[in-house]
Amino acid sequence: MEDNEEPKPLAEIAQKVKKPRTEKQIETFKKAQENRAKNILLKKEAGKKALEEKILQKALSIKKKQINKQYDLAVLDQISDDETPMEEIKQKHRAVTPPPVRLLPPTIQTPIQQTKKTFTFL
């Protein structure tokens, strides 16, 4: 080394020279990029469809609740015209809207086995 020459930075010394890509590698990379873009679009469309379906189901459930409330109010209006006792109103309301059926968890019944102890006396 000469005194007037500056030392090269370590980054330039350690940097490797990359091999150039072949035509086939370039083509497959472009094809992979196209497939990736297609898949991203498909996922976005599927997400939008799922969101629309979810919103539609929620709107239907809200509409059903509104119809049920209107029906209940109409039944109560018919009953309220009369001078009927409150117990009859409750019974008619229960007849119109049955309580929801709740499933009980299954119970496991295992027989209890008793062991008979035997003693022998000498």
- Residues 6 or more apart whose Cβ sits within 8 Å of residue 80: 89
Tokens of residue 32, six digits: 């992979």
Residue 79, Cβ neighbours under 10 Å: how many?
A: 14
* For residues 94-114, average pLDDT: 68
Tokens of residue 112, six digits: 């209890």
pTM of the model as a whole: 0.37
Give tens-digit pLDDT for 17-62: 788 899 999 999 999 999 999 999 999 999 999 999 999 889 888 8
Q: Contact, 97 vs 70, CB < 8 A?
A: no
Task: Give the model's pLDDT for residue 25.
Answer: 95
Alpha helices in the chain (DSSP H): 10-14, 23-81, 86-96
Tokens of residue 23, six digits: 């035509």
